[in-house]
Amino acid sequence: MSHFEELAYHMAAEELEQEEEGAHDDIALEPGRNADSASEVSKFVNKAVLAKYDVYSYRNAASILKNSFPEEFAEIEKALLDFSITTKDIGLPGGNESTIPKKLSDSLRPKKWYETRIQGDLIIRVYEQSEEVIKGGKAKKHTLPPKEDIKLENYIDGHKIDYVKGKVALDMEWNSKDQTFDRDLYAFRLFHECGIISAAVLMTRSEKLNDVLKEIPQLNKDGSLKEEAGKIVPCIKKMGASTTWMGKLLYRMNAGRHGGCPVLVIGIKAEAVSDWPPKGKVGKK
């Protein structure tokens, strides 16, 4: 990258920061009071995983996964430690359909972590009782013949989770609209209420990755540098405040949108980027 290109690139990043100054509502950068303590999390999560990712636990998710589902949790931790991306992976277009989520699939699909969808009908039974006043002014109740059941077809329909094995679920959101978290958390909650899962894991970008995204340029599909108005475009522009990242997820977790479902939250940090910082450059990890 020439000096001119580098200058234009950093100017674009600064302009983006100015544009997003007012776009930080509904963001939390720390787990809330309803989250498990960091010391509690460290008892159950591999130290190497804690070094590579931000990890937050809600409703004792870390303890439940480690103690009740050790096989599934071991496979998740192995997948997290094997997970590695490059600056090129980040720069290429594709959002949540890019090569990055597929890297997680490469680890989990062979171990029978399947995309799972649930569907269910709601059966409503109505029971009626009549009341008769008998001697002494007392009331005597009579059960009436049952009415025909009311069936609401597809009352539960279309809710799916990308990875489910046994009673553990996992989803990953790399770069979707932040409202996708609402869909994920509702699915976790519904699967949990139906007794299909006992705990879930949700993986996204850590806020600590933002400094890296400001430095990595966007690429076209052919791998060439993407430009707008003659300026190189930083990746942070396509991964702004309104996309899926930790700040948007913790806000929802702190508000309890996962309901009663225990959820372990994983944030991808710069340690997962294999070629960062570039040779000869000191970068933030």
Per-residue pLDDT tens for 208-218?
999 999 999 99
Neighbours of 89 (CB within 10 A): 20
Q: Are 175 and 210 in contact (CB under 8 A)?
A: no
**Architecture of the domain whose range is 3-118+157-272:** 3-Layer(aba) Sandwich (3.40)
pLDDT category of residue 133 using cuts at 50, 70 and 90: confident
Among residues 40, 54, 41, 32, the alpha carbon closest in space to that of 256 is found at: 32
* pLDDT score at 2: 44
Lowest mean pLDDT among 10-24, 144-158, 200-214, 233-247: 10-24
* pLDDT score at 281: 62
Lowest mean pLDDT among 14-28, 45-59, 114-128: 14-28
Domains of the chain, residue spans = 3-118+157-272
Q: Are 163 and 115 in contact (CB under 8 A)?
A: yes
* pLDDT score at 8: 43
Q: Are 31 and 59 in contact (CB under 8 A)?
A: no
Q: Are 236 and 11 in contact (CB under 8 A)?
A: no
Mean pLDDT of 228-243: 90
| pLDDT at residue 31 is higher than 50 | yes
Residue 54's H or E segment, with its range, is strand 53-58
Distance, CA of 90 to CA of 196 (rounded, Å): 34
| pLDDT at residue 20 is higher than 70 | no
Per-residue pLDDT tens for 60-108?
999 999 999 999 999 999 999 999 999 999 999 876 667 899 999 999 9
